[in-house]
Structure 1
Amino acid sequence: MSQPRSAAIIGAGPAGFSAAAELRRRGFPGRIQLLDPDGLPYDRPPLSKAYLAGGSATALAEDSWYQANAVEVVSGTAVQLHPDSGTVVLAGGEEIQADAVLLATGGTARTLPVPGAEFLHALRTRADADALRGRLGAGKRLAIIGAGLIGAEVAATAAAAGTAVVLIDPVPVPLVPAMGPEAAAYLHSLHARNGVETLTALPVDVVPDGAGLAVLLEDGSAVAADTVLAAVGMVPDTALAEAAGLEVDDGIVVDSAGRTSHPRAYAAGDAVRLRSGGHLERRAEHWDAAVRSGQAAAAGILGQEPPEAAVPWFWTDRYGIHAEAVGSMTRSGSSVERGLPGPGYMVFRVSEDGTLAGAAGIDAGNSMRAARRLIALGKPVDAAALADPKVDLRRLLRPRP
């Protein structure tokens, strides 16, 4: 396909928005339309934290940015995609035409496969947060099924509002793949310290119980609550892609430049799955990965080289602490701890070849940034230096004399 004169982006989350911004940054002069049911893009991470606690929605850009960058925001829902003609059909019958179409459709909340799932709340959108926000506070009871990223953050927000919270998960310590066992155990321990009850259990049913609900567990016990939130992950929204005949395999299959199996269609964000080196990688479901995939797809639309792949970065905020992880905490090798669990605590994952594979930290900003650069460099690291809190990790970045 020749240089496109117009681009339509379906989905205005971080992937779709970053694609629009990157198109303009790379000098694309054509028409850009950004389509989303919610209209102007807003940031999703605050939905489980500041926004849920009563704050305002955080816009991804000021309103003036869209005018200054000639990005048209279209409020609507795409129901059909015809990639051969570049036509997007909206729910009301209106059509958008573009030379290139980018799918940034994200995902939907995974449904808990138990009876009574219709009683459960989810948290993926601002509307979901609005529905949940009014059900928190003193005297309210909240049961959360799923103690991963979203479940844990909502538990912290709800507890701070005075809600009685029970957090249920069949895994004793969630987030081990992302944070490593040591840092994940510390994070999970914060729930009890902040008055949140945690149960290692498997829900099997949700039933009405007086004016509230009861979550029935596999061991025969029950948890009473006014509200039950299911935070059990997401399902990639691939419906448009599948109906349009694009290759889909637990996500829209793309290359490193966001190209799908059709030359007019690109995809980015939580709904994509990268084909690399002849195999399909796992989907990345976090903000930083979505932003970078949007930027890569913008490069692909323009026929340019995408940015170099970055070291994966993940973060979570709860109970007043900021936790991060970079790289891989599951790589074969050994773990090295720095300091004691609490602010400044870090855990490093050192590969068998002596290079740094991953790092997790608690309120360890500068050190985490240095760790990310060390991973990218791929140079051998000294385990003793990693373990010593007196050693500034930035020193390890300098070439040895």
Structure 2
Amino acid sequence: MQDFRYLILGGGMAADAAARGIREFDSDGSIAIISNDVDEPYTRPALSKKLWTDPSFGQDDNYLSTVADTWAQLHLGTEATSVDAEAKTVTASDGEYSFEKLLFVTGGQPKQIDLAEGQRVVYFRRFDDYRRLLEFAGRNLNVAVIGGGFIGTELAAALVQNTTNTTLLFDDETLCGSVFPPDLADHFHQLYRDQGVTLVPGTKVSGGRAEGQHVELDYGDGTHEFDAVVVGLGIDPSTALAEKAGIAVDDGITVDGSLQTSHPDIYAAGDVAHYPDRILGRQRVEHVDNATQMGTVAGRIMAGSDETYTHTPYFYTNVFDFGYQAVGTLSSDLQTIEDWQKPQTEGAVYYLNDEGRVQGVLLVNLDGGLDTARAILAEDWPHSRSDLVSRLP
């Protein structure tokens, strides 16, 4: 049995942030991080952004120096198989652990289709997936990207900018049409076409198979052949371990404002945590701002802080010359009020429910404004166009 004051299950950015948060209040308590990844903690957003577009930023630059900075023991390639919440023990593939405080930052697993993962089929999530996909970039090969959300659009932009014949397959009739108002979606769609991405809208891939040096995908009018396929359809939260331990789950591991689960001394943070946002209500957020902010607060609370998690996270993307930041819910099913300085290239979009209350704020190519956006979201009353236009700098 290996004994630790703090045991962290999961090795992503939330784990790194938690270890740093612990060290703010406890300089010498023992920390162990159990990760089934093959890499030490790294910056996940760079896997679909900076590593593809910034020649000065290499793979070694992407690691977070968790062990050097926090003195945590890192157990890579290790699978936690069971948690005994009452006995405060964890069974893993390399042995038994005991803990005083336990943190779940288990993240999630990529959503699957009927297509087996392999050397030419990448379900994109980890650093190792980036390295595998990189083998097919820069060689004028034909690569299909499945999914029109954050990961899919970022990977399509990354590949086409690295001398790769890129095809993007997605459900919407217009790229991001379920998220952006029509004119902005049209602009975004055309941006990808202008950059050389082949767009296949209104398409759901039913499955496929690897055949020798190619991958066949089934969609539309038949079977289509590519040199490689990358799938970016989001994740399913990894809750099985917590649920088996008798810890409450509901679209993630349920936590209170102190990030504590239904069991004392056991916490959750990051992509897997279903938490009470002070503005938006119960949320589970799969973005880096939430992972780092929540991980840090979880670590501090485990080490003795009496704070609660009050941060409302933002999310962002950068593709080609188009970048945005957003807070709250973005959906074309909501009413929108647009406030453009330069149509579809610089400005803000507000998303409102049927009662006129703001549910989300999108900032397109704007610096700053997130705090104002959060303040607007917290205003629990109906808003008109005159209330919102020119509110943001």
**TM-score (norm. length: structure 1):** 0.82
1:192 corresponds to 2:189: no
- What residue is the counterpart of 1:160 in the other structure? 161
Specify the code of the residue in structure 2 equivalent to 1:87.
T
Contact 2:39 2:127 in 1 (8 A): no
Contact 2:26 2:303 in 1 (8 A): no
1:315 CA displacement: 0.4
Q: Do the aligned partners of residues 230 and 379 (structure 1) sit closer, same or farther apart at CA in structure 2, a change above 3 Å counting?
A: same
Distance 2:21 2:178 in 1: 31
1:102 CA displacement: 0.5
Q: List alignment gaps of at least 5 residues for structure 2.
A: none
Q: Do the aligned partners of residues 85 and 182 (structure 1) sit closer, same or farther apart at CA in structure 2, a change above 3 Å counting?
A: farther
Distance 1:206 1:303 in 2: 51
Q: List alignment gaps of at least 5 residues for structure 1.
A: 395-401
1:92 corresponds to 2:94: yes
Between the aligned residues of both structures, percent identity stands at 27
Q: Do the aligned partners of residues 15 and 116 (structure 1) sit closer, same or farther apart at CA in structure 2, a change above 3 Å counting?
A: closer
Distance 1:52 1:80 in 2: 38
- What residue is the counterpart of 1:397 in the other structure? none
Moved more, 348-357 or 80-89: 348-357
2:86 aligns to what SS in structure 1?
A: coil
- What residue is the counterpart of 2:339 in the other structure? 337
- What residue is the counterpart of 1:21 in the other structure? 20
Specify the code of the residue in structure 2 equivalent to 1:50.
K
Post-superposition CA distance 1:241-268 (Å, at most 9, x none): 1332222333222222221222132111
1:102 corresponds to 2:103: yes
Contact 1:144 1:230 in 2 (8 A): yes
Question: Size of the alignment, in residue pairs?
Answer: 382
- What residue is the counterpart of 2:59 in the other structure? 56
Moved more, 225-234 or 82-91: 82-91
1:8 aligns to what SS in structure 2?
A: strand
**TM-score (norm. length: structure 2):** 0.84
- What residue is the counterpart of 2:10 in the other structure? 11
Contact 2:121 2:229 in 1 (8 A): yes
What does 1:202-221 correspond to in 2, within 5 Å? 202-208=204-210, 211-217=213-219, 219-221=220-222
Moved more, 254-263 or 31-40: 31-40
2:51 aligns to what SS in structure 1?
A: coil
1:320 corresponds to 2:321: yes
Q: Do the aligned partners of residues 332 and 283 (structure 1) sit closer, same or farther apart at CA in structure 2, a change above 3 Å counting?
A: same
- What residue is the counterpart of 2:83 in the other structure? 81
- What residue is the counterpart of 1:260 in the other structure? 261
Specify the code of the residue in structure 2 equivalent to 1:44.
R
Contact 1:324 1:360 in 2 (8 A): yes
Q: Do the aligned partners of residues 39 and 259 (structure 1) sit closer, same or farther apart at CA in structure 2, a change above 3 Å counting?
A: same
Contact 1:145 1:167 in 2 (8 A): yes
Specify the code of the residue in structure 2 equivalent to 1:11.
G
1:202 CA displacement: 1.9
Specify the code of the residue in structure 2 equivalent to 1:163.
T
Contact 1:186 1:341 in 2 (8 A): no
1:191 aligns to what SS in structure 2?
A: helix
Q: Do the aligned partners of residues 27 and 379 (structure 1) sit closer, same or farther apart at CA in structure 2, a change above 3 Å counting?
A: farther
Contact 2:258 2:309 in 1 (8 A): no
The CA RMSD over aligned residues, in Å, is: 3.3
Contact 2:5 2:101 in 1 (8 A): yes
Post-superposition CA distance 1:162-210 (Å, at most 9, x none): 1111111122245456555554443333211110011121222314567
1:51 aligns to what SS in structure 2?
A: helix
Post-superposition CA distance 1:57-100 (Å, at most 9, x none): 5446446xx4454433333412332222222233122x332101
